[in-house]
Amino acid sequence: MRIGEALSLDDHDFDAEQGMLIVRHAKFGKQRLLPLHATTLSALQRYRHLRDQAFPRPVSEALLVSSAGARLRYVNVSETFVKLARRAGLAARPGGCRPRPHDLRHSFAVATLLDWYRDGGDVAARLPLLSAYLGHVEPAGTYWYLHAAPELLAEAARRLGPGPGAGR
């Protein structure tokens, strides 16, 4: 999810029975369903239980709330992420750019594509699924992940086989 999509989630957007999130305020005014992994579903259920104990009379419809019970704000989430990244020892990338919340989304997309390459499946046929999950308008918006990760380029090259003149 994009950080703005996560911050816009209301409590009723989490369907624990179906194991889904409804992203109503997606980019380009779209909406989509996100199936949740069992571990994510469990974590959200635990979070919701603790949140409801702390705030039995909600001050916000938000699924994710601050320590005051109000909807999380982007600036606060970003500041907290920076602090946690420093505590975890995550170094800045070349050029001084520190890890950002959006990098988690990128890591998910790259890891998914790598898994697909490594399991021998048809990546091109699966790409529309990842594209829809990420909320891209079309798969072309997802292709840039292929260019952004050397591991993906290596897997794609491996699939192509030896180049001209190989084995000489």
Give the 3-state secondary structure of residue 62. strand
* Phi, psi dihedral angles at 21 (to 5 degrees): -115, 140
Question: Phi, psi at residue 101, to the nearest 5°?
Answer: -55, -35
From residue 120, alpha-carbon distances to 109, 142, 146, 158, 167 in Å are: 17, 19, 16, 11, 24
Which residue among the candidates 71, 74, 100, 105 is catalytic per the annotation? 105
> CA-CA distance, 77 to 98, in Å (whole number)?
15
Which of the following is catalytic: 12, 49, 83, 102? 102
CA distance 10 to 61: 5
CA distance 6 to 36: 13
**Catalytic annotation present for 49:** no
- Active-site annotation holds for 2: yes
Catalytic residue among 83, 106, 136, 143: 136
Question: Which residue out of 24, 27, 100, 106 is catalytically annotated?
Answer: 27
Q: Strand pairing of 14-15 and 20-23?
A: antiparallel
Q: Is 168 a catalytic residue?
A: no
Q: Is 12 a catalytic residue?
A: no
143 is known as an active-site residue:
no
Residues known to be catalytic: 2, 27, 102, 105, 136, 145
